[in-house]
């Protein structure tokens, strides 16, 4: 059961890195030229959408943000119309252990636990321990839930517990869009993940973290909790109306930047995700018809991001009309 919790936590954070747009506002030179051009034209109702066309084929792209409140109300007639004619829905990447990973997985997960007779909190620096205890007590959690795990894993678990406590979802907007698709009566829409994520490599890398890196990861998780406490709902409300400037100003990426990118298997995470998304959309455009894709805003808003690269390859990028 505890091993399952670790894999779920790593899968959740990988998905978050690939599906969220939690990035502090970047200078204009670091933003997508395509996005900036289309934002100036206007912002139709609902979350930010872009249409990518090549010949008769098109992909309607929804920019995703994680976390979103479970009770967030949003509507997008443009997205509903696209789902009504689409043949394929591409959802964010999914983490899957491979069969070849399983023999060594138990040993590697064990290395992420505290040593015999050791506990988490007594081994933390006083300031970090005080921050950690304050948050877990606010969530109504005792020390036993985290005490047998090393700091990075405890941080991932604490962040997941915080989001559950606050009613924040890491599965949205993908789960909402899938429900919207299923509500299209008489429609059979194929649903596929953008890619499969190699969890074994991620766990292997995590097992090599130094004590200082573990504490940096826990600090980053606590920073994200503080940031989401103050600004996650503001970012979500802005996301629901396509206000990208406010989303950027109220989101953060400390866990991604200070923790996950320390893992050797994830040092080029953003580049990998960007290239992977471009390949997935390119395949969809080659197959023809209409596809709906959910791609995190971080990959769309960055300079030389997904939309910039597709335009450079000859695709036509626009905002769907109301």
Question: Each residue of 259-284: pLDDT tens digit?
Answer: 766 666 555 667 778 888 999 999 99
Instruction: Give this prediction's pTM.
Output: 0.84
Question: Each residue of 229-245: pLDDT tens digit?
Answer: 999 999 999 999 999 98
Could you state, in order of their start, the residue ranges of all structural domains in the chain?
2-318
The pLDDT value recorded for residue 65 is: 92
If DSSP codes are grouped into helix, strand and coil, which group holds residue 191? strand
Distance CA 92, CA 311 (A): 21
Task: Indicate the pairing of strand 290-296 with strand 196-198.
Answer: unpaired
Which letter, b or e, does each residue of 247-285 get, where b requires 16 or more Cβ atoms within 10 Å of its Cβ?
A: bbebbbbbbbbbbbbbbebbeebbebbbebbbebbbebb
């Amino acid at each position: 059961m505890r091993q399952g919790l670790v894999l779920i936590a790593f899968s959740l954070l990988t998905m978050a890195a690939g599906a969220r747009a939690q990035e502090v506002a970047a200078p204009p030179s670091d933003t997508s030229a395509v996005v900036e051009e289309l934002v100036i034209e206007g912002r139709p109702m609902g979350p930010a959408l872009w249409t990518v066309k090549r010949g008769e084929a098109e992909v309607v792209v929804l920019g995703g943000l994680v976390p979103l409140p479970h009770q967030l109300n949003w509507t997008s007639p443009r997205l509903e119309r696209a789902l009504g004619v689409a043949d394929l829905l591409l959802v964010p990447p999914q983490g899957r252990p491979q069969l070849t990973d399983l023999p060594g997985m138990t040993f590697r997960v064990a290395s992420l636990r505290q040593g015999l007779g050791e506990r988490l909190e007594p081994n933390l620096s006083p300031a970090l321990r005080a921050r950690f205890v304050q948050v877990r007590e606010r969530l109504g959690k005792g020390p036993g839930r985290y005490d047998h795990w090393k700091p990075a894993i405890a941080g991932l678990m604490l962040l997941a517990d915080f989001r559950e406590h606050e009613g924040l979802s890491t599965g949205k907007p993908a789960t909402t869009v899938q429900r919207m698709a299923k509500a299209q009566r008489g429609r059979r829409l194929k649903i596929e993940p953008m890619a499969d994520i190699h969890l074994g490599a991620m766990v292997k890398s995590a097992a090599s973290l130094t004590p200082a890196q573990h504490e940096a990861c826990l600090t980053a998780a606590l920073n994200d909790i503080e940031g989401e406490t103050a600004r996650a709902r503001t970012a979500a409300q802005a996301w629901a109306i396509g206000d990208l400037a406010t989303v950027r100003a109220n989101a953060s990426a400390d866990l991604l930047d200070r923790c996950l990118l320390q893992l050797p298997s994830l040092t080029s995470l953003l580049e990998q995700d960007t290239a992977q998304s471009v390949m997935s959309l390119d395949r969809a455009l080659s197959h023809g018809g209409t596809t709906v894709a959910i791609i995190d805003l971080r990959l769309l808003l960055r300079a030389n991001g997904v939309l910039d690269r597709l335009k450079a390859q000859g695709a036509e990028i626009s905002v769907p009309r109301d």
